[in-house]
A and B are shown apart, each in its own frame.
Chain A
Amino acid sequence: MIRRPPTLQATDKLAFLLSLVPWLIDRAQVSVADTAKHFGMTEQQIREAVMLIAVSGIPGETQQYQDGDLFDIAWDRFEDDDEIVLTHLVAIDDSPRFSGREAAALIAGLQYLSALPENADRGAIDSLMAKLARGASTRPSEMAVEAGETDAALALIREAVATGVQVEFDYVNSRGDREHRHADPLRIESVDTDWYLRAWCHLRGAVRIFRLDRVSALTLTLLPIEFSAGDVPLPDELFEGSADDLFVTVEVTLAAVSLIADYIPDDAERITVGDRVRTSVRVSHFHALKRLVAGLPGMVTVVEPPEARRTVAEWAAAGAARYGIGPG
């Protein structure tokens, strides 16, 4: 979930130029700073784009790109005041359409987000999707994401943030322990079908991440929050390492490596032995490990340390014992 500033390919730059021109046309004058802010780009990127636009145009009657065939800007305003004023226009009047693939990407994203309380009005979302499709130059890609169900917990959390009160709930951690928590909600995060609440936990006195499907009996309190999203630095990575993490050596089938990629540290060694990779995973404790390994049966085997192997072995044996299958 790292959000680096995007590096722009030539086609991205073209899309930007085709978008910047109509935006500038709609404004008699605008500062480089405001333009950069609106498009989420650096001021230098904006200046470069404006300088390119200012010398561009059409071959024209003479096929020589004469002055009247080119865009022009008020150069003194640009150079002295960092202001953009288009003084001559060529060829472009309006914003470009979306490509079919661009529209499809946004439509599928909207379908995924239908669980959010902001999207409870399905009619409004449907008409937004129809508008994207109509604004595309070709039919959107044949693609769809199952709509999530509106989640009552998300609506409550949103209400808590809007009114500035703490939430309280029961939480079962991966050890199986149930604790009652008070928390200041900071952000809702998700990966595929798993949704998480990142919050300031008053029990731990720190930012913690809670899987929403492990949260029960969530209610609003009358206690005011102590922290809001702007007060605490929030990590870009959903699964960030901690100094207390344990490192475990595992053997993984080639096909399953991507399924545990979140747990493999960036600098971990990966040695391929036949159809398996020996590498290491980082976990908060062995109880989280046993659930991870048990969800990929036969695909991941713990090599060491012995205590980690034992934790997994006991988990599996206890599971098998429920069906009357003993050790041996």
Chain B
Amino acid sequence: MSPGSAAGAPRVPVEERLFSLVLALLATDTGLTKNEILSTVQGYRQRYDHGGNNANLERQFERDKDDIRDLGVPLETVESPAESGNQNLRYRIPRGRYELPSDITFSAEETAILGLAAMVWREGSLSTESRRALVKLRALGGTSDEPVLGYAPTLRVRDSAFEPLRTALDKHHVVRFAYLKPGELESRVRTVIPLALVQHQGRWHLAAEETGTGAQRTFLLRRIVGQVAATGEIFDPRADDAPTRALRELEQVWSSHTAVVEVELESDAATRLLKRRGTVTAPSGALELHYSDLNIIADELAAFGPEVLVLSPAELRDAVVSRLALMARNHREDTRD
């Protein structure tokens, strides 16, 4: 940050400048012009050059507006009908859209559950945002029930594509990324309108619409290679509930795929696969499992080594056999360098 034109003025901490800006914009009904803000609000006024060039300060104001809006503060721009032009834009924070509706309260039980919900995220933007949400929740003064049983839940977001996709979703940016389908040697570049990020069976998926064809596609985040880039195009937000629809479709795919496997009695595979959601024991004693993606279930079943024998489908059987054979080959005595 450059010190601006009024170098040498006492430095106002960033949070004091932001706080003063929010207070000033909450207190005005008609709104303040940019010049009024820069010349009078604490943190700006110290650096304001009357009659001079305030380009640095203006850029600062633009960044501050973004930061404040990111906190959920509805900073509005209003244009007075009598005047027009950029210099006559006015800024304000309408109280009704700023304040939490007064009928929204949270019981001690709800506060406890929300505390756990926030704890789920340990990293990235979701962690920062849930912590901030808890601070706002505490502003309401509610207490939290002491839980009977302690919990330490964690949901991870390890896919590097997650954060840029979430930003694109919120800002309605069309994105471009390279995607590697299993079984293909080369990744292919996709340009899509992101519709929802959903986590199904422990993996993050992007539901999206291809810009060229309008076709709906679901992408597994871990198969996105390299960077996710915004194309610069903006799309109109959709009215429907895209996350619910995406989860429903993933669930349909999952239940339509069935694998039949034999498991060694009393083995780790027997215990764990039986506990897998939706597993049914056939009269023969074989287990019927559901899965979303052949390559992923093949990895999971290969981990059980000899404890599992895949009976069907044939493609899954082949996929597991080739994994076990590859692993045996890679670890043979004579392949060691």
- Interface set of A (CB-CB < 8 Å, partner B): 1, 3, 6, 10-20, 22-23, 26-27, 38-40, 52-53, 56-59, 63, 65, 90-110, 112-113, 116, 118-119, 124-125, 128, 131, 134-139, 141-146, 149, 157-158, 161-162, 172-174, 176, 178, 185-193, 211-214, 216, 229, 234, 238, 255, 258-259, 261, 290-298, 301-303, 309-310, 312-313, 315-323, 325, 327
What are some 30 contacts across the A-B interface (CB < 8 A)? A18-B19, A19-B139, A91-B24, A98-B100, A105-B121, A105-B129, A105-B130, A108-B120, A108-B126, A110-B114, A131-B104, A137-B73, A142-B196, A143-B169, A143-B197, A144-B196, A144-B246, A187-B152, A189-B154, A190-B154, A234-B150, A238-B154, A291-B303, A292-B303, A295-B299, A295-B303, A297-B324, A298-B323, A312-B327, A323-B324
Q: Which residues of chain B (110-135) have a CB below 8 Å from chain A?
A: 110, 112-114, 116-122, 125-126, 128-133, 135
For residue A145, which residues in chain B have a CB less than 8 angstroms away from its CB? Answer: 155, 198-199
Q: Which residues of A contact B320 (CB under 8 A)?
A: 319, 323
Minimal beta-carbon separation of B168 from chain A (angstroms): 11
Q: Select B302's contact among A56, A234, A319, A327, beta carbons within 8 Å.
A: A319
Interchain CA distance A142-B246 in the complex, whole Å:
10
What chain B residues lie within 8 Å of A143 (beta carbons)? 166, 169, 196-198, 243
| Main SS at interface, chain B | helix
Give B residues with C-beta under 8 Å from A.
Answer: 13-16, 18-20, 22-24, 26-27, 39-42, 45, 67-68, 70-74, 95, 97-102, 104, 106, 109-110, 112-114, 116-122, 125-126, 128-133, 135-136, 138-141, 147-156, 158, 166, 169-170, 194-202, 222, 237, 242-244, 246-247, 250-251, 266-268, 271-272, 275-277, 299-300, 302-309, 317, 320-321, 323-328, 330-333, 336
Point out the residues of chain A lying under 8 angstroms from B194, CB to CB.
Answer: 142
Q: How far is the CA of A193 from the CA of B300 in the complex (A)?
A: 13
Q: Is the CB of A98 within 8 A of B133?
A: yes
A11–B22 Cα distance when bound, in Å, is 12
Complexed CA–CA distance, A238 and B155 (Å): 13
- Which residue of A125, A173, A191 contacts B156 across the interface (Cβ within 8 Å)? A191
When the two chains form their complex, are residues B117 and A58 in contact, meaning their CB atoms are under 8 A apart? no
The answer to whether A293 and B195 have CB atoms under 8 Å apart is: no
- A100-B72, A214-B268 are contacts. A23–B247 as well, Cβ < 8 Å? no
Q: Could you tell me if B130 and A106 are in contact, using CB atoms closer than 8 angstroms?
A: yes
Residues of A within 8 A of B323 (CB): 294, 297-298
- Bound state CA distance, A14 and B18, in angstroms? 7
**Sample of 7 further A-B pairs with CB below 8 A, known A59-B40, A303-B336:** A96-B98, A102-B130, A106-B118, A109-B118, A141-B169, A144-B198, A172-B268
Chain B residues with CB under 8 Å of A104's CB are: 129
Contacts of A297 in B (CB 8 A): 299, 302, 323-324, 326-327
Which listed residue, A3, A214, A255, A294, touches B327 by the CB 8 Å rule? Answer: A294
Which A residue's beta carbon lies closest to that of B105?
A: A131
B200 CB, min distance to chain A CBs, angstroms = 5
A109-B268 in contact given A141-B170, A187-B149 (Cβ < 8 Å): no
* A319 B23 Cβ-Cβ under 8 A: no
Which chain A residue shows the least CB distance to B196?
Answer: A142
Question: When the two chains form their complex, are residues A214 and B113 in contact, meaning their CB atoms are under 8 A apart?
Answer: no
Q: How far is the CA of A161 from the CA of B119 in the complex (A)?
A: 21
Q: How far is the CB of A12 from chain B (nearest CB, A)?
A: 6
In angstroms, Cα B136 to Cα A101, docked, is: 13
| B151 and A135 form a contact (CB under 8 A) | no
Cross-interface CB contact of B153 among A19, A106, A190, cutoff 8 Å:
A190
Beyond A189-B151, A294-B305, whether A99 also contacts B271 by CB under 8 A is no
Q: Chain A residues near B305 (CB, 8 Å)?
A: 290-291, 294, 315-316, 318-319
A185 to B140, CA, bound (A): 33
Q: How far is the CB of A322 from chain B (nearest CB, A)?
A: 5
